[in-house]
Structure 1
């Protein structure tokens, strides 16, 4: 008698909210936690290498003479970038901008707390609940690094409003919140040579891309640029 086929378990919905920018869902699939926004898969807890590289690449590109650099992380997600930054003693202040109140709550008191509790308790950490696109246009704060991970990449945004962030005007706003010599690091689900050109046209220097191989498909990527001093 042949063995029965293994039928994968369907994802378990842990929470579903109507947020200010549409529906956000936290679900468990096997041993993974996943965040879905408006039906678009954003991220899960399977790996985290590329999110950690986002922070590492920004720190490595900074002038070593900068003491206590301030980093702005765009997007809390499942917390990999925040947790990694909080684990590095060199960062002086860690500000995370997250526009979905549900995501913040999932980290503070929900299923994602185990990934980020220590980082949230770090006195250097500040969570700002607002839209990053508006924040980079309006804030008076400046930073030494901006680690941007609010979409699946420059050409694959969660909402249409985010698209302008990766164009010339949006990148100019990102540069506005960076100190001279500050680093912009942008996460993407695939490398984008076109975005490298846009970074250069927006005035960024030392533009490069680091790739992270994945099990299947094209590699993840981190695009890096430095605001001139």
Structure 2
């Protein structure tokens, strides 16, 4: 049944509040769950995590058969579900995670979220890139077999205005360039977006499709998938 918050026991408690170069980020606890809020916009919490895990699983499943030790870039550390899922899978080779908010990195390294991500951060395959994902994709020469991106509530609902560049033709071209042939782009969204699917096709991606994770109320969370041609 849906989780309903009581007036007292489940009132949110602010654990940390930081002002950074991209605005305010807040870590809250609500009952047994943790929440991340950015500039007043709810990003994610620890109540479920199925769609964040699907982001990783679907990307790995879509890679060409027989590819060994694929490298994955996770865009956004968040509450750590995607990183933990990747580190739990021995088939991944390099696991890089780009997170621009130092506060979020701190909450994982020595804060309340370490219980989710601690083993993954200690994994020798894991590298934390404290950088803006959009800028990194535009400037790096590194290439990955999978890009698993979850920095917004979706292509149509960005946390900051600059993040919109990721879903633009130029941003999708950067994603395409950062993938190896046959590589997979996976993008998390709080709702399906037919317009984004078309934008992926316009950017030269193949096999564009959407996988859904049902929620208690409202539209399903989704992962948009697209493949760079071999």
Q: TM-score range by the shorter chain?
A: over 0.9
CA distance in 2, matches of 1:150, 1:72: 12
Per-residue CA deviations over 1:32-91 (Å, capped at 9, x if unaligned) read 100000000000000000000000010000012211000000000000000000000100
Per-residue CA deviations over 1:170-212 (Å, capped at 9, x if unaligned) read 1000111101110000000001111100000000000000010
Unaligned runs of 5+ in 1: 1-5
Q: Which residue of 2 aligns with 1:3?
A: none
Per-residue CA deviations over 1:123-151 (Å, capped at 9, x if unaligned) read 00000000000000011110000000000
CA distance in 2, matches of 1:141, 1:173: 11
CA distance in 1, matches of 2:190, 2:8: 25
Counting only pairs closer than 5 Å after superposition, residues 45-60 of structure 1 correspond to structure 2 as 45-60=46-61
Determine helix, strand or coil for the equivalent of 1:18: strand
Q: TM-score normalized by structure 1?
A: 0.97
Q: Which residue of 1 aligns with 2:201?
A: 200
Unaligned runs of 5+ in 2: 1-5
RMSD: 0.7
Q: Which residue of 2 aligns with 1:35?
A: 36
Runs of 4 or more consecutive aligned structure 1 residues displaced over 3 Å after TM superposition: none
Structure label with greater radius of gyration: 1
Q: Which residue of 1 aligns with 2:224?
A: 223
Matched, 1:7 2:16: no
CA distance in 1, matches of 2:176, 2:95: 18
CA distance in 2, matches of 1:218, 1:157: 17
Q: Which residue of 2 aligns with 1:120?
A: 121
Per-residue CA deviations over 1:200-226 (Å, capped at 9, x if unaligned) read 000000000001000111000000000
Q: TM-score normalized by structure 2?
A: 0.96
Matched, 1:99 2:96: no
CA distance in 1, matches of 2:59, 2:99: 19
